[in-house]
A and B are shown apart, each in its own frame.
Chain A
Amino acid sequence: MAGDDDTRKGKAEAGAPRRLDRREVLKGLATAPALGLFGYAWQQQRRYEQARLESTVAPAAPGRVQQIDVALLGAGAQGQVLTDAMLRIPGLRFRAVCDIWVEYNQKRVVNILRKFKHEVNAYVDYREMLDKEKELDAVVIATPDFWHAQHTVDCLKAGKHVYCEKEMSNTLEGARRMIAAARETGKLLQIGHQRRSNPRYLHCYEKLLGEAKLLGRIVTVNGQWNRAVTPDLGSPDRYAIPEARLKQHGFKNMHQFRNWRWYRGLGGGPIVDLGSHQIDIYNWFLRANPSRVMASGGLLYQDPQTHEWYDTVMVVYDYDTPTGPVKAYYQTQTTNGSQGYFENFMGDQGTLLISESELNYAGRLYRDPNAPAWDTWIQRGYVTAPKIQEVREQGDSGAIADVRESVSPDEHKVPVVLRDPYHQPHLQNFFDAVRGKAKPNCPPEIGYECAVTVLKVNEAIEAKQPLSFKPEDFEV
């Protein structure tokens, strides 16, 4: 068995001349200075950090990397987050910023880019931008969801590669048009499910679940994104967008412009805004799309005058995975931020609790006490050694147990840490793909599968009964 070979190899590499008992091995590993960062994970982390380092040591050194001319379409909160990440990626030259909020967000982003010595032109009309900015290689789109399809299609048809924020569209029809345009033009389209490029998630997918199968058979999943109450987004009075410009771009008024996520026809509510990121991970890690969904949701708290979508949603998906059936729960609510956001995968041999956050739930693993030992994977650095309680010598007393204070179950960590802003690796992957040096981690076909999975939730809430997916629903 491969596992046995791996075990022997692992021990030989560790240079252990004799068989250590597990407690000694763990004790040794736990006290090694580079805790858990051996073998593969060490190399992966090191490679990731080395690549980062090389790129910042010589930012934009001529000739080192092919320069990419880029424009930002949508300079709101998310556009600003993406800009912040892109400013740390070498070889990008910002040429243009387009946003209809000239008075505030457009000006803010242009000012930041000029500080970084990017001479950018500012536009209200993206078509004018595409007409005038002939050198553009790529456009990064962070506009409201209901604009994604048209913006993406027009940029692709203008010959630009596109990075488009999730949800790729608020309608499946729009999402299909985006895929068709990408195929027709041969230009790249990456959808902004940024966890797909996060080194910790990649490690979990490839190594912990794919190779080591640490959780055994995954049977259930749960996850959440809970947010505390906040007032609706406002805007400074003096920087209001003229009504004509708002209407021209599909917004009734400034309130709707700022809070489009809550409006039917513009966004999809919290299940799409928040849930989509994590439900995409369900599909990815389970290596399947769901077969059925049941959901309950409602507008329990927010003002119905200004909130058309559900503020509280609870969902159960059924999956038929290659290893058996799975039930996956997800909830999002906007009245209490208790425990924030995470995804929790539960198998018959262990649990993986993970989150994009580097601060909370950044990747913990719990082994079922009856599951096979993880020593091999600890030695390889796939997971950290567990916290070891004080080891007491039992000597040769012949006793089967030293009776003492209770021992905590093993808790391991995923030894891969993101050192950059959250969206940077996914953007880097996109620009690497533009240079022909990588494959996009989230092509539109994957974005589409997620859109199908998530948009069905709102339908299921209205239907008040479970809805089924057919395999062909996910195909374009």
Chain B
Amino acid sequence: MYPVQSWTDVPGPIETAGAHRGSEVDVGLEIDTPRDAGCVLRFSHEAMATVFEVYAVHPDERYASQAAHAAFDLADRLEGQLSRFIPNSDIARINRLAAGECTRVGPATLECLLIARHVFDLTGGAFDVSIGTGLPLLDLDPDGFVVRAAEDGVQIDLGGIGKGYAVDLMAERLEEWGVTTALVHGGFSSVLALDAPAGSEGWPLTFSDPGGASRVLSHLSVRQAALGASGLRKGDHIVDPRTGAPGRERLAAWVVVRRPEQAGATPSTVATPRAAAVADALTTAFMILGPEEIGRLWQRNPQFEAWILPLPAAGPKGGTGLLHFGGAAG
């Protein structure tokens, strides 16, 4: 039924450690140290309640550091516009709109909302930044940069897409600086790899069982692509925005979205210039959608690759399996 399906056995019972609040957690996504780790520079910065990092290979450490900080500065500015917790952000203002009211927002907020609405449509509402309060009730005017609410009470939380969007823009900032052998991530749950270090095919990434991070489920080598992750730890739950009921089937999901080839590539529904934002959003949806739905989505939009880890009870007989959609390896 699925276009491509592969199974990876995960031995033993799922161990869990500690409760983790929220539906979007950083799960088991690790960046392997490249073999010649000595030349990889690493810069860190706190924003959006997590740690953003830039890994870069560049001959001039000071220059790379300045480029990384230009990218971090951008993340801080985006947080000021996108965080619902900051009272004068665009999103906080949207969340206070009564029926018929509108507010003008910045280009970043509008684009983020447009991508969110696009993935909402794509996933039949399984990814919903309004968490069931009515994303379609927001009228987004891309010409006037105005957001209007048709009814009271629409509440937007960009937690499932904002980090990815920031990672996209940060990577573009690095490219402006010519720092192109680089990887950017936000809290390990949104990763964007640019060019790979010399002599390697890609940046080495792993993803692991969220119940026990030492159990590596897969190794990937990634360049010019985004990888997003969502998952549950013990005590977590994720709400299906379509029904309001807790989702019960999924432990974790990972999505790779390739960046579009250089200018001139035909834009497609999934392959937008904001690969990390889309990957971030799709992982959240894939915590909810059934394997058949994900398979159908892949058939229509084969630009992404995904893995889902069902809960043991919901998985196939014979143990917990990792389901894989897309990808050349199959």
- A: residues with CB less than 8 A from B are 53, 56-57, 59, 84, 87-88, 112, 115-117, 230-239, 358-359, 362, 417-422
Q: Are B92's CB and A419's CB within 8 A?
A: yes
CB distance from A423 to the nearest CB of B (A): 11
Known contacts A230-B69, A231-B66, A234-B66: does B88 contact A358 (CB below 8 Å)?
yes
Chain B residues, Cβ within 8 Å of A237: 63, 177-178
B104 touches A234 (CB 8 A): no
Tell whether, in the assembled complex, residue B66 and residue A56 are in contact, meaning their CB atoms are under 8 Å apart: no
Residues of B within 8 A of A232 (CB): 66
Assembled-state Cα–Cα distance A420/B101 (Å): 15
Which of B141-149, B158-166, B301-309, B322-330 touches A?
A: B141-149
Whether the Cβ atoms of B146 and A422 lie closer than 8 Å is no
B293-313 with Cβ < 8 A to chain A: none
* B145 A231 Cβ-Cβ under 8 A: no
A112 touches B92 (CB 8 A): no
Q: Does B85 contact A (CB under 8 A)?
A: yes
A195 CB to nearest B CB, Å: 14
Please state if A234 and B70 are interface contacts (CB–CB under 8 Å).
yes
Contacting residues, chain B, for A87 (C-beta < 8 A):
104, 106, 145
14 contacts between A and B (CB under 8 A): A56-B102, A59-B144, A59-B146, A117-B143, A230-B69, A231-B62, A234-B63, A234-B177, A236-B177, A236-B178, A358-B88, A359-B86, A419-B92, A419-B96
Tell me the minimal C-beta distance from B243 to chain A in angstroms: 30
Q: Which residues of B contact A84 (CB under 8 A)?
A: 106
Secondary structure of the A side of the interface?
loop
Q: A84-B106, A87-B104 are in contact. Are A418 and B88 (CB under 8 A)?
A: yes
6 tightest Cβ-Cβ pairs between the two chains A and B: A234-B66, A236-B177, A358-B87, A231-B65, A88-B104, A358-B88
B104 nearest CB across to chain A (Å): 5
Taking chain B's interface residues, is the majority helix, strand, or loop, or is none over half, making it mixed?
Answer: mixed
1/0 per position for B252-268, CB-CB distance to A under 8 A? 00000000000000000
Q: Are B93 and A419 in contact (CB under 8 A)?
A: yes
CA distance A56 to B144 in the complex (A): 10
Separation in Å of the B290 CB from the closest CB of chain A?
Answer: 40
Given contacts A87-B104, A236-B178, 9 further A-B contacts (CB under 8 A): A87-B106, A115-B145, A117-B143, A234-B62, A234-B67, A236-B67, A358-B87, A358-B88, A418-B87
Question: Within the complex, what minimum Cβ distance (angstroms) separates B187 from chain A?
Answer: 19
B269 within 8 A of partner (CB): no
Note all chain A residues with C-beta closer than 8 A to B143. 117
| CB-contact partner of B69 in A57, A117, A231, A236, under 8 A | A231
Q: Once the chains bind, are B88 and A115 in contact (CB under 8 Å)?
A: no
- Contact between A57 and B177, CB atoms less than 8 A apart: no
Summed over the interface, the residue pairs from A and B with CB atoms below 8 Å come to a total of 64
Other-chain residue from B63, B87, B106 in contact with A417 (beta carbon distance below 8 A): B87
Does B107 sit at the interface, judged by CB under 8 A?
A: yes
Residues of chain B in range 82-117 having any CB-CB distance to chain A below 8 Å:
85-88, 92-93, 96, 101-104, 106-107
In the docked arrangement, what's the CA distance between A57 and B177, Å? 39
Quick check: B88 and A419 within 8 Å, CB to CB? Answer: yes
Contact A420 B88, CB 8 Å, known A59-B144, A112-B107, A117-B143:
yes
B36 interface residue per 8 A CB criterion: no
Bound together, the chains give a CA A231 to CA B65 distance in angstroms of 7
Closest B residue to A236 by CB, please name it. Answer: B177
Q: Which residues of B contact A115 (CB under 8 A)?
A: 107, 145
Minimum distance in angstroms from B73 CB to a CB of chain A: 8
Contact pick for B66, options A53, A116, A233, CB 8 Å:
A233
Cα distance, A233 to B72, chains bound together (Å):
12
**Nearest A residue to B144 by beta-carbon distance?**
A59
Name the residue among B65, B69, B86, B88 with the largest chain A CB count within 10 angstroms.
B88
Task: Kindly state the separation between the CA atoms of A59 and B96 in the bound complex, as whole angstroms.
Answer: 19
With contacts A231-B62, A234-B70 taken as known, whether A358 is within 8 angstroms of B86 at the C-beta atoms is yes
A56 touches B103 (CB 8 A): yes
Report Cα–Cα, A239/B176, bound state, in Å: 9
Known pairs A231-B62, A231-B66; A236 contacts B176 (CB<8 A): yes
Name the CB-closest residue of B to A358. Answer: B87
Cα(A112)–Cα(B177), bound, Å: 20
Enumerate B116-151 residues with CB–CB distance to A below 8 Å: 143-146
In the assembled complex, the CB of A434 is this many whole angstroms from the nearest CB of chain B, namely: 20
CA distance A362 to B88 in the complex (A): 12
Min Cβ gap B264→A in Å is 20
Counting chain B CB atoms within 10 Å of each CB, which of A53, A59, A231 scores highest? Answer: A231
C-alpha spacing A233/B65, complex, angstroms: 10
Residues of B within 8 A of A359 (CB): 85-87
B288 to chain A, nearest CB (A): 31
Closest to B93 in A: A419
Please indicate the chain A residues that have their CB under 8 angstroms from the CB of B93 in the complex: 419-420
Report A455 CB to chain B, min CB distance, Å.
28
CA distance A112 to B96 in the complex (A): 26
Closest Cβ–Cβ distance, residue B297 to chain A (whole Å): 31
Q: How far is the CB of A151 from chain B (nearest CB, A)?
A: 25
Which residues of chain A have C-beta atoms less than 8 A from B69's C-beta?
Answer: 230-231
B248 vs chain A, min Cβ distance (A): 35
Q: Complex formed: what's the CA distance from A53 to B87 in Å?
A: 16
Closest chain B CB from A235 CB (angstroms): 8
